[in-house]
Amino acid sequence: MIIGVVIVSIAGIAYSYSIPSDSMPITSAQMMKNKDLSGMSQMMNQIPEDVIIKVHSSQTVYQDEKAEIVLQVLDKITNLPLENADVLIGIEKGSSMTTMMMQGGMTKAESTGNGNYLVSFTPSEKGIYTLHVHVIPEGKSMHSMMQNHMDIGLISK
């Protein structure tokens, strides 16, 4: 028997979990173990609707050293740089949507002009990291960030 549902929002994405009546208090690790990400994985792997996101820096970073990743965001129709977009970044330790070990909350990338946006972070461990890049083009609602999402893999040595 199910007595309740927990809804958690991570990086603007809602997850729901059923709680059996005979369960003890559930931990976030247990919730992630029991999650069904098939629908979300499909959504997260879609091609952005309104934008093109390009990586203009190395995707190799180094443990305990400040990494600076340069992204360029272009309008998908005009192919022109988007100057006034909100580019929001979530950093996950691990492959996309596998660990949900987010490194802090969502942060806003710094606009450096010509549609370029700078993401800075310091990887604390060697391994794979995922940048969850969400773009809200100027004049679009916050909800457009899920239609303009791209995951970018990084390797920390």
Tell me: the pLDDT tens digits for 111-132?
999 999 999 999 999 999 999 9
- In the block, residue with structure tokens 């603007």: 12
In this structure, are 28 and 55 located in the same domain?
no
SS3 33: helix
3-state secondary structure of 41: helix
Residue 43 in domain: no
Residues 148 and 81 in one domain: yes
CA distance 89 to 92: 10
In which domain, by residue range, is 19 found?
Answer: 2-36
Cα separation, 87 vs 100, whole angstroms: 20
Same domain for 143 and 114: yes
Claim: this prediction has a pTM higher than 0.75: no
pLDDT in tens, 74-122: 999 999 999 999 999 999 987 776 666 677 788 999 999 999 999 999 9
Other C-beta atoms lying within 10 Å of the C-beta of residue 99: 13
CATH of the domain at 122: 2.60.40.10
Nearest to 144 by CA among 153, 152, 136: 136
Give CA–CA dist 150/134, Å, rounded: 7
Which among 3-7, 25-29, 101-105, 122-126 has the top mean pLDDT?
122-126
Q: Is residue 44 part of a domain?
A: no
Looking at the domain assignment, is residue 42 inside a domain? no
pLDDT digit string, tens, across residues 130-141 = 999 999 888 876
Domain count, the chain: 2
Together in a domain, 21 and 75: no
